[in-house]
Structure 1
Amino acid sequence: MPEYLISVWHSPGVQHRETGPYASEEEMQAAFQAVGEFNEALRAEGAWVYAGGLVAPEESVVVDGTRGAELVITDGPFTQAQQHMGGFWVVDAAGPEQAEDLAARASKACGNKVELRPFQT
């Protein structure tokens, strides 16, 4: 079955707020519960592969091993962008329509827009 990446994107700085991208503690807790329920539904449907949240991009490093024996590691992020990936799911789907349905459910659960992208085969 084809695998798809469903990625959640955030504006800069939201991961440093106590409630993350959410307006209130209540909204954040409701999203956590909805995401937990969505994750359980993915498992029950056999679509679950993997999911995870990411720390703020300022906590990343960029690793450059393209210079032969010289390894260069610098503080991240890799690019300066208006938004950054805050979390993701990897799901199995029978095809684009099922993947779009899963992405719509993911967006509703986490309360954010998501990007859906198939893995190369």
Structure 2
Amino acid sequence: MKHYLLSVMQPVGEPPEPEVLEEIMHRVEGFHAELRAADAWVFAGGLHGPETATVLRAGEGGDVLVTDGPYTESKEYLGGICLIKVPDLDAALDWGRRAARATTLPIEVRPFMGEADG
């Protein structure tokens, strides 16, 4: 089995209305239940907005520069992640499609390095 990261790409701006968000979260919970039932679940979680980020950069002489705020300004940010284990990219893309339908947001699917298929 190979591990894949499903990244939820959240648009910057106001979140959906509470009743809309409640329905989305209900679908996401169902998606997570499907992952568990298929033994593809590893971990999932939502992230606070980019304004809560702290960026650390290595500098000269071992110093580390600490900066509040996101690493980059963007129209989208990483809003949540789901780590899955599946046989191959086709299976990961299938789960990514399900995640996109559940969240109504773009999902980026990426394999972890150093893992053989199968």
TM-score normalised by the chain length of structure 2: 0.89
1:31 aligns with 2:24: yes
1:59 aligns with 2:52: yes
- Cα distance in 1, alignment partners of residues 55 and 21 from structure 2: 30
Question: What's the Cα RMSD here?
Answer: 1.3
Quote the residue 2:78 is aligned against: 85
Quote the residue 1:97 is aligned against: 90
Runs of 4+ in 1 over 4 A off after TM superposition: none
SS in 1 for 2:101: helix
- Cα distance in 1, alignment partners of residues 39 and 69 from structure 2: 35
Paired residues, number: 114
1:46 aligned partner, one-letter code: D
1:5 aligns with 2:10: no
Q: Any gaps of 5 or more consecutive residues in structure 1?
A: 15-19
Q: Percent identity?
A: 34
- Cα distance in 2, alignment partners of residues 67 and 89 from structure 1: 35
- Cα distance in 2, alignment partners of residues 99 and 68 from structure 1: 42
Quote the residue 2:35 is aligned against: 42
